[in-house]
């Protein structure tokens, strides 16, 4: 399941074109639940891409710098040591 929340998002659709008609202060929150497939790949020369997909065909990709990816790995390892979810 994918949820998408868009804040301050207003566009005009005219003649097949999308045009921004609001202030440039847009924000989005995306959440993907029930992940069935995941991947980790190099992304360009400097980043690591995490890829997540569910059974409905929804996908989310996140590109991280190596130090950010290490932080994620460390936090998962710490959670695994403390949480009964990993028993």
DSSP string, 29-40: EEEE-SEEEEEE
Is pLDDT above 90 for 8? no
Q: Are residues 42 and 76 in the same domain?
A: yes
Residue corresponding to tokens 């999308």: 18
C-alpha to C-alpha distance for 44 and 46, rounded to whole angstroms: 6
Q: Are residues 41 and 4 in the same domain?
A: no
Q: Are residues 84 and 53 in the same domain?
A: yes
Residue range(s) defining the domain that contains residue 8: 1-33
Q: Are residues 49 and 24 in the same domain?
A: no
Mean pLDDT is lowest, of 20-24, 50-54, 78-82, for 20-24
Q: Are residues 46 and 23 in the same domain?
A: no
* SS3 state of residue 85: helix
Q: Are residues 78 and 39 in the same domain?
A: yes
How far the first Cα of the chain sits from its last, in Å, is 26
Q: Are residues 16 and 53 in the same domain?
A: no
Query: What's the pLDDT tens digit per position in 33-61?
Result: 999 999 999 999 999 999 999 999 999 99
Count up the domains in the chain and report the number. Answer: 2
Alpha helices, DSSP H, located in 1-87: 66-82
């Amino acid at each position: 399941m994918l949820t998408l929340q868009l804040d301050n998002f207003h566009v005009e659709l005219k003649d097949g074109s999308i045009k921004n008609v609001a202030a440039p202060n847009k924000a989005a929150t995306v959440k993907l639940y029930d992940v069935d497939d995941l991947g980790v790949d190099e992304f360009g020369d400097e980043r690591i891409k995490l890829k997540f997909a569910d059974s409905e065909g929804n996908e989310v990709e996140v590109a991280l710098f190596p130090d950010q990816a290490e932080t994620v790995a460390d936090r998962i390892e710490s959670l695994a040591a403390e949480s009964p979810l990993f028993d």
